[in-house]
Amino acid sequence: MNQQIQIVNVDFVKQANGALVYRLIDQLGPISRIQVSEMSGLAAASVTKITRNLLRLGLIKEVAQQQSTGGRRATSIVAERQNFVCLLIRLGRTSVTIAAMNLATEVLFKRKYQLQTEQTVEQLEQYLLEHIRRSLSELQQNDYQIIACGITVPGFVDQKSNTIRFMPQLNLQKPWKLAESIQQLIQLPVFIGHDVRALALAESYFGKTRETSDSLLLRIHRGVAAGIILNRELFSGSKNNLGEIGHTQVDPLGKRCKCGNFGCLETLVSNQAIEDSVRELLQQGHHCDGVTLQNCNLDTICAAVNQGDPLLVELFQRLGKYIGQVLAVCINVLNPEKIILSGQITQAKQVLFPAIEKALQAMALSDFVQNTALEASELAHDDIIGAFALIKRALWNGELLVQLLED
């Protein structure tokens, strides 16, 4: 029994050390082996052995030698990002996006397919697998080295079993083993996660929370949900799912939410809720500059808010108060360094953000609010970057590295 525990610990240490070396090279390269050894605290011999394996895989490469400081000039190493490709899938409520991105975050292709409104889980899975098969064939014809697949969904994901437990548009009678089916098809590691939580992870890797330890991302789209980063790690809890703050009640007399409650934040500030509210105003005879029943979409609405339409400015100030009311609770509980707002609604941030901040000043602890920045996300490819972040995490924590080394 003790021998088994010791073997597991040795394997874990090897994985952790390999991940640490790769991450330092990926983040700080060009960097010498001596510098990696000094920064990681690992023996020079261990670093040499790890980098030898990474060189064999092609995940790192040697570049020009550094300037001599009196002895033999050290050779620098960097991460190889161009030759390795990730297959990325974002399965939404009405559409699926399939893309390929290399480790330099360059998109090689991205295609969006509409989903049928009425179909079984089995039909949807076969539809997805067929499009994935075609995409994989295209990548293989171009001699790309595909290393993994990342998937994000707007539902509850069990990270331990890599299964989907709930999706809004599907009636799942049992956990959906979509990742397993894709892995059998492509014969590569597959990583699956909640779309908003994965987006928060991407924000911490590539976006505005790179330099922070604790942050919260609030995503407003078809729904409203949050992703939480604590100590630079995505917080998921023992139950794997959290952050559904869109179902916090802010108006007890409001509309009924799909969760069964009344006046949830999601019923007021989601894209559809805003469009419906403006449409109702127009039908009641109100005038909104540039917005008609024919073009009543969030982009047009935000443009009118920015132009100072008084009715829509008042609406967005009220929405900002609701958002701030919920974020104030989050600040009091988590005390994050930054809150990032993501979604089309941020196009009207010049009106929305002051209203949110006013609510935060009134409802959250003053010391906490003063040290919490509120910013809009500027991530590119926010539909697929979350899936890429899942793969990046697996490289940086060694989970994917171990599988690549075993192949």
Query: In the chain, what are the domains?
Result: 2-79 (1.10.10.10), 84-200+384-406 (3.30.420.40), 210-376 (3.30.420.40)
Over residues 124-135, mean pLDDT: 94
125 alpha-carbon distance from chain centroid: 23
Q: How far apart are CA 373 and CA 352, in angstroms?
A: 15
Q: How far apart are CA 85 and CA 68, in angstroms?
A: 36
Conformational region of residue 51, where left means phi above 0, alpha means psi within -120 to 50, and beta covers everything else: alpha
**Measured between alpha carbons, how far apart are the two ends of the chain, in Å?**
29
Q: What is the pLDDT of residue 328?
A: 97
pLDDT band at 1 (very low <50, low <70, confident <90, very high): very low
In Å, what is the CA distance from 267 to each residue of 221, 258, 271, 280? 12, 9, 9, 14
Say if residue 402's pLDDT is above 50.
yes
Q: What angle do CA 327, 334, 210 make, to 5 degrees?
A: 90
Peptide bond into 189 cis (omega under 30): no
**β-bridge mates for residue 145, sequence order:** 84
pLDDT, tens only, 263-273: 999 999 999 99
Residues ≥6 apart with Cβ < 8 Å to 338: 208, 209, 212, 215, 216, 372, 373, 374, 375
Q: 310-334 and 298-306 are packed helices; what angle lies between their axes, rounded to 10 degrees?
A: 100
Continuous segment of H or E residues that includes residue 89: strand 84-91
**pTM for this prediction:** 0.92
Q: How far apart are CA 213 and CA 230, in angstroms?
A: 6
**Secondary structure (DSSP) of 199-254:** HHHHHHHHSTTTT-SSEEEEEESSSEEEEEEETTEE---TTS----GGGSBS-TTS
Over residues 149-160, mean pLDDT: 91
In Å, what is the CA distance from 315 to each residue of 84, 305, 359? 47, 9, 15
Over residues 190-199, mean pLDDT: 95
Percent of the chain with pLDDT over 90: 78
pLDDT, tens only, 54-77: 999 899 999 876 555 555 567 899
Q: How far apart are CA 217 and CA 232, in angstroms?
A: 13
Q: How far apart are CA 315 and CA 323, in angstroms?
A: 13
pLDDT, tens only, 250-264: 999 999 998 889 999
Say if residue 205's pLDDT is above 80.
yes
CB 218 within 8 A of CB 232: no
Say if residue 8's pLDDT is above 60.
no
Q: 33-40 and 2-28 are packed helices; what angle lies between their axes, rounded to 10 degrees?
A: 120
**Secondary structure (DSSP) of 91-130:** E-SSEEEEEEEETT--EEEEEEEEPPSS--HHHHHHHHHH
CB 270 within 8 A of CB 246: yes
Q: What is the pLDDT of residue 71?
A: 53
